[in-house]
Each structure stands twice: as structure tokens, then as C-alpha cells.
Amino acid sequence: EIPRVKGGLGIAILTTSQGVMTDAEARRRGIGGEVICTVF
């Protein structure tokens, strides 16, 4: 489960098995990962 940042106004940067990407991209691809940082 990838958390939404500030109700969807911010972004989270994740590291996944397919590389570093935003939370929106990871949700679109249906993969999870570790949150590196959040930006809002």
C-alpha cells in the first residue's frame, strides 16, 4: 500500500524492483516499494 501525500497534492519518491519512480507511476504499474522521500 503506497501512502497518498497530503491528500494527493504531493508526491512520494519510491525505490522499486523496476527502479526509482513516483508514487503515481508505481500505482499505475501495480508495484510497491520503499518510500525514499515525500515532496509537498
SS3 13: strand
Sequence-distant (≥ 6) Cβ neighbours of residue 7 within 8 angstroms: none
Number of domains in the chain: 1
pLDDT of residue 8: 79
Residue 21 DSSP symbol: E
Q: Which domain range does residue 22 map to?
A: 6-39
pLDDT of residue 35: 94
Where residue 8 falls (left for φ over 0; alpha for ψ -120 to 50; beta otherwise) is left
Task: Print pLDDT tens along the chain (40 aa).
Answer: 787 888 879 999 999 999 999 999 999 999 999 999 999 8
Residue 1 lies in a domain: no
pLDDT of residue 29: 96
What pTM was estimated for this model as a whole?
0.80
CATH number of the domain residue 30 falls in: 3.30.1490.10
